[in-house]
A and B are shown apart, each in its own frame.
Chain A
Amino acid sequence: IGTLIYARVVKANSIMNPELSCMDASGKAAEFGQLKSGYTFETSTGLARMLLSSPTCPLLEALGKKLSFEIAVGLNGRVWVNAPSPSNVIVVSSAIKESESYSRLQQKSMVEKLLAKLS
């Protein structure tokens, strides 16, 4: 109890228990499964969607340029972040939490400021 899993919801309705799957639609295990180490936190579902949006959101791009990390974002708002050093993880997670109400342009400038402060 307490392990973190990245899964896909196959079926969910109010009558039955939801059905999850660790394989994507074509049957391959694409990054699904247990997430090891790293840190997880909750955000709003809107933010999660923004993070998952198709041209990568400027926040993640800007962070990715300077720091190496990997994230898994769930549509339920849970975000998992992993990076080689704990400080990177903390930076990324605080940046994501902060960007809740920022527009695309603001995000970029916020991240730049944050990274400038660190280096």
Chain B
Amino acid sequence: MDQRWRPTVNEREFIEQALQSDLRVDGRRPFDFRKLTISFGREDGSAEVLLGETCVMGYVTAQLVPPYKDRPNEGTLAIFTEFSPMADPAFEPGRPGEAAIELGRVIDRGLRWSPDGCLAVVFLFVRELEVWSLIRIHFWSVRRESRAVDMESLCVVAGKHVWAVRVDLHILDNGGNLTDAANIAALAALSTFRRPECTVGGDDGQQVTVHDPEVMDPLPLTIHHLPIAVTFAYFGDGNIMVIDPTYKEEAVMGGRMTATINSNGDVCAIQKAGGEGVMSSVIMQCLRIASVKAADITSKIKTKVDKYTTEKALQKVKRTPAIVAKEVNVPDVTMKESTHSAMENQTSKAPNDGQQISEGDENHQNTKMISTLTADRTVKHKQTPTSVGGPSNWDPYSKGVSLSSLRISRLPDPPAVANDEKHEDAEPMLTESNPEVKSVSNSGSAGESDEVKESRSPESLVDAVKPKHKRKKKQHGKS
């Protein structure tokens, strides 16, 4: 019935023996983390973390709810974990019988643990063994007690509507050290999560309208700092410790301790549930090591999140190519600086129409192919507010020219050089091309509007060439 994997005597002895000489079975040193890979999903707020062989996926959603009575102007954060049996044969599907008892105990602890000025009750769904439940409490309490996520910014109408943020963590593969991996997954997901913008209006100022992400850009959560969990496993008499234990090491270890530290060196939480006793000097040493590791991991998370955010922002820009061009009031903004805010300015001014979405779809596919060129495009965007979408869509590397040349026959005769007409013509073509373009990379909007502009105003194309080259050189100069 219990399908847990048990270590053999040989493994147990060997792991301990190897640790005597500071050797770990996978070739790491005692204080090395395994390779960390963070990847993001298609939607905002979903992240998958691979720490060696451990795989955890985090997913964040938010909902408007009435707040708790004793905290009327704060939002809530809830963390749910799913231990799926595909992660480990020891995890059983469904809710185990003792869950009710555990849940009661956990909530009780939750109430007692929330310090003054912090949040109200947070529900924890516990689906597995008690050991894991303890880890979860720690982990949740870290997020709340340490005020990593700003709760007051989640308030919309005090006493009536607040955002309840829910983090779902799915354990996909248990390769050891689930705490750390799950923590990173939650942080990554929270950092990339965007909650919908909402405005308060109506007669009594109480009515809340939640805006569709297409209309108004969703907002990120305010995250003050990233508390990173670092887990230590103890062996022997509590004097040998390693960081980031693997599955086998966990089966053989004497005890474990998790220290949650942020890059400022603040200890957010320490969790040691059972296991062997360790001396306080050892704990202090662990904390010191953990702070070093935390800084390292924080920087990794931040670079990954930033990279993802800029890519997403660039995608958004491409969604609204020609239309936004005339509305752009952005002065000289370089690529590196306020890319994000500039995009938001542009996209927020863009009108909301279904055609944008189709472009968006297209551009999703295009992005992957043209990611290197996106830099060029955005630069063109900002620096040519007057030229009407021509240069900003002109893609010299477009492979779809042949496809678009087929479309010339479908082009309406170019009338006057009115902006609106151009846009309108561009878009029906784009929507048409959507199904066909899917199989062709790189063509689509770029090639077609290219043709449009070419047929209409060859002069503007020539003009486009020169400035584009200039811009390209500037771009290279800057970067």
- Taking beta carbons and an 8 Å cutoff, which residues of A are in contact with B? 1-4, 35-40, 80, 86-87, 89-90, 93-94
Our count of residue pairs bridging A and B at CB distance below 8 angstroms stands at 45
A-contact bits for B2-14, CB 8 A (1 contact / 0 none): 0000111111111
B24: nearest chain-A partner, CB-CB: A90
Tell yes or no: B204 within 8 A of A by CB.
no
Instruction: Give Cα distance in the complex from A89 to B21, angstroms.
Output: 13
B10 touches A35 (CB 8 A): yes
- Cα–Cα distance between A4 and B10 once the two chains are bound (Å): 7
Q: Is B202 an interface residue (CB 8 A)?
A: no
In the bound assembly, the distance between CA atoms of A9 and B27 in angstroms comes to 34
B residues less than 8 Å from A89 (CB atoms): 14, 18
23 pairs of residues in contact across A and B, judged by CB atoms under 8 Å: A1-B6, A2-B7, A2-B8, A3-B8, A3-B9, A4-B8, A4-B9, A4-B10, A35-B10, A37-B14, A38-B14, A39-B10, A39-B14, A39-B15, A40-B8, A40-B10, A40-B11, A80-B10, A86-B17, A86-B23, A89-B14, A93-B25, A94-B27
Across the interface, do B10 and A90 meet the contact criterion of CB distance under 8 Å? Answer: no
Could you tell me which B residues sit within 8 Å of A by CB distance? 6-15, 17-18, 21, 23-27
Q: Is the interface of A mostly helix, strand, loop or mixed?
A: mixed
Known: A2-B7, A86-B18. A39 touches B12 (CB 8 A): no
Chain B residues whose CB sits within 8 angstroms of the CB of A36 once the complex forms = 10
A2–B12 contact, CB under 8 A?
Answer: yes
Report the minimum CB–CB distance from A77 to chain B (whole Å).
14
Q: Which residues of A contact B27 (CB under 8 A)?
A: 90, 94
Chain A nearest CB, measured from B41 CB (Å): 28
B9–A2 touching, CB < 8 Å: yes
Cross-chain contact B17 with A2 (CB below 8 angstroms) = no
Residues of B within 8 A of A93 (CB): 25
Closest to B18 in A: A86
Contact among A35, A38, A80, A87 for B23, CB-based, below 8 A: A87
Are B10 and A86 closer than 8 Å at their CB atoms? no
- Given the interface pairs A39-B25, A94-B26, the reply to whether A86 lies near B14 with Cβ below 8 Å is yes
Contact A2 B23 (CB under 8 A): no
- Further contacts, 16 of them, CB under 8 A, given A39-B11, A39-B15: A1-B6, A2-B6, A3-B9, A4-B9, A37-B10, A37-B13, A38-B10, A40-B11, A86-B14, A86-B17, A86-B18, A89-B14, A89-B18, A90-B23, A90-B24, A90-B27
Closest-by-CB residue of B relative to A93 is B25
Closest to A39 in B: B14
Nearest neighbor of B15 in chain A, beta-carbon distance:
A39
Report chain A residues within 8 Å CB of B13.
37
- Chain A contacts of B23 at CB under 8 A? 86-87, 90
> Whose C-beta in chain A lies nearest to the C-beta of B25?
A90
- Give the chain A neighbours of B6 by CB distance below 8 A: 1-2
Residues of B within 8 A of A38 (CB): 10, 14
A94-B26 Cα distance, complex, nearest whole Å: 7
CA distance in complex: A87, B18 (Å)? 8
